[in-house]
Structure 1
Amino acid sequence: MNPLPMFDDDDAAADDVGFVVDTHRRRFVALLIDTSDSMRTTETDGVPAIDALNRRIAAWLPKVRAEGRGPLRDVEFVVLTFGAGGVVVVSGDGKRSADDEGAFVPSARLHIPELVAGGATPMVEAVDLALHLLEERRALVQRLGQQTGAPRLVLISDGAPTDPEGNPTGEWRQLARRLEQSRRSRRTQLFAFGVPGVDDEVMRALATDDGYFKLTELDLKKLLDLVLVATAEHTDFADVRKLFAEEFEL
């Protein structure tokens, strides 16, 4: 069951929604998508996973933009891929900048270009960059006297972290400690979604049992609906998990 209403896309209306400048509580979401070589070789419904993902994203984005003119009006996205080309910012102007009109875009203007799969899985570098950009964006907005909520990271992967050459790396252990400290101080929340082939140990270490959600099959529609719920909900891990269990039978 999909708890999200269906919307028709309206790009003209979306263009009218800029960065929120009033006193509403601003929220920032980093979406990290694994585009490593496994997404090219794994198939779903008879086609490469990356092709299926691109089609599903194209159908999903109008929902996000429509929500961005309502419940997600105060949410800004930054989207990073890790795989082909290393770690790449694919939202906004594509630069690693937290300034207005940089990498962050309001939900109503979110666009994700067609993704290409290949290369290694620099997951740790991607999360590091996302944390840096989220902290910079929050600091910039707070300097303007605006309220912000705890930033959220949404991580999607079907593998395990590697170095740039594709060799397994243990750097995720240090990252897990940093994320735990961040959770304790309520500075960041991480939701991790694992699709078949993912390294459970890594994902559980990074997101904890409450923040890690494993899909038993590569159901990309369900995955993206889960991402949108994780973005929209103000609640903590346990409450979001309960909602997922009720709506998606996880």
Structure 2
Amino acid sequence: MFANPGSAEPPLPMPYTGFEFDSAQRLPLLLCLDTSSSLSNNGAITALNSALASWAKSLVDDMALSAAVDVAVITFGGSEQITVWQGDIPLGRTAPVWPQSPFVPAHEFRPPLLKAHGVTLLDRALRLAMEVVADYKAGLRTSGLTYYRPQICVVTDGYPSDETGKFSYGYRELLPELRRAEEERRFRLFAVGVGERHTGAEDVLKELAPQYHAWLDGFPFQELLAAMSHSARATQGGADEAEFHEIFARLKNRRGGGQVPA
């Protein structure tokens, strides 16, 4: 899996160099995060950065997740419009192919410090997320490693747009593939809106993820990431679909959460 001295295979980017995979079954978890300019309002991007830092620490402290979960981040927004991250290292607008990967083991995950800028190219980011997960699964199989059903969590505070910032139905091109992915259990997709509720925006999320979609008032990023951890534990435990629905229902019906920090 890793390049040997003198091998023609390119070395893996840090922090993968020198890392030996745990023999435990892997659980890929990809965060697809909106970092468009609207996140600069109401302290949203600050809340997101704070939540990511706390979540990274919680992954290290959770022995079960630390041993099995691999984390990748894709952001849509910013000057690059789409950015693939390997921990806090930006890899650019496209992802490397196996054996290089944006996924890092949970105990080594260092979140990027995100800035709010640009437009909401949700469809391109989600397409890339699907490709990254598919490549990672194929690479794990090639290396003789097994994996749980991956999780992709898309988080946005607005409508999907094109490069000019105008509303775009481009995401609908993904729907047939997403439905096939559901049927074939390729991954579990969560689509979550945060902040002010925009008329019709939740319908976009519903189209993307009919089973797991929600619009959450305010910016409850910590609670959202905690729910992703709970879902990962449930996946490790072989939970049936009803348990994942319960986890998501508790997130949507949380009490006293989601307030914008002062």
Same topology, TM > 0.5 = yes
Mapped partners of 1:189, 1:98: distance in 2: 22
Give, in angstroms, the shift of residue 216 of structure 1: 2.6
Give, in angstroms, the shift of residue 246 of structure 1: 4.7
Give the RMSD, CA atoms, in angstroms.
Answer: 2.4
What is the aligned partner in structure 2 of residue 174 from structure 1? 173
Mapped partners of 1:79, 1:248: distance in 2: 23
Asked whether the 8 Å contact 1:226–1:244 carries over to 2, the reply is yes
Mapped partners of 2:243, 2:97: distance in 1: 30
Q: Normalising to structure 2: TM-score of the pair? A: 0.79
Give the count of matched residue pairs: 228
Mapped partners of 2:38, 2:70: distance in 1: 29
Mapped partners of 1:65, 1:18: distance in 2: 16
- Any idea what the Cα deviations from partners look like across 1:84-115, whole Å, max 9, x if unmatched? 12110122453312434531100111111210
Give, in angstroms, the shift of residue 19 of structure 1: 4.6
AA paired with 1:61?
Answer: A
What is the aligned partner in structure 2 of residue 80 from structure 1? 74
1:98-137 matches, cutoff 5 A: 98-100=97-99, 102-137=101-136
What is the aligned partner in structure 1 of residue 40 from structure 2? 40
What is the aligned partner in structure 2 of residue 9 from structure 1? none
**Which deviates further from its counterpart, 141-150 or 28-37?**
141-150
What is the aligned partner in structure 1 of residue 190 from structure 2? 191
Q: 190, 198, 205: which is aligned to 1:203?
A: 205
Mapped partners of 2:111, 2:65: distance in 1: 20
What is the aligned partner in structure 2 of residue 27 from structure 1? 27
Mapped partners of 1:19, 1:62: distance in 2: 21
What is the aligned partner in structure 1 of residue 247 from structure 2? 243
Give, in angstroms, the shift of residue 155 of structure 1: 0.9
Give, in angstroms, the shift of residue 167 of structure 1: 1.6
Mapped partners of 2:117, 2:250: distance in 1: 35
Give, in angstroms, the shift of residue 21 of structure 1: 4.5
Give, in angstroms, the shift of residue 150 of structure 1: 2.0
Q: Secondary structure at the match of 2:49?
A: helix
AA paired with 1:121?
Answer: T
Give, in angstroms, the shift of residue 196 of structure 1: 2.5
AA paired with 1:200?
Answer: E
Q: Normalising to structure 1: TM-score of the pair? A: 0.82
Structure 1 residues 144 and 221: alpha-carbon distance in aligned structure 2, compared to 1, 3 A threshold: closer
Structure 1 residues 128 and 248: alpha-carbon distance in aligned structure 2, compared to 1, 3 A threshold: closer
Asked whether the 8 Å contact 2:196–2:218 carries over to 1, the reply is no
What is the aligned partner in structure 2 of residue 10 from structure 1? none
Mapped partners of 1:148, 1:224: distance in 2: 21
AA paired with 2:106?
Answer: S
Asked whether the 8 Å contact 1:72–1:232 carries over to 2, the reply is no
**Which deviates further from its counterpart, 130-139 or 88-97?**
88-97
| Amino-acid identity (%) | 26
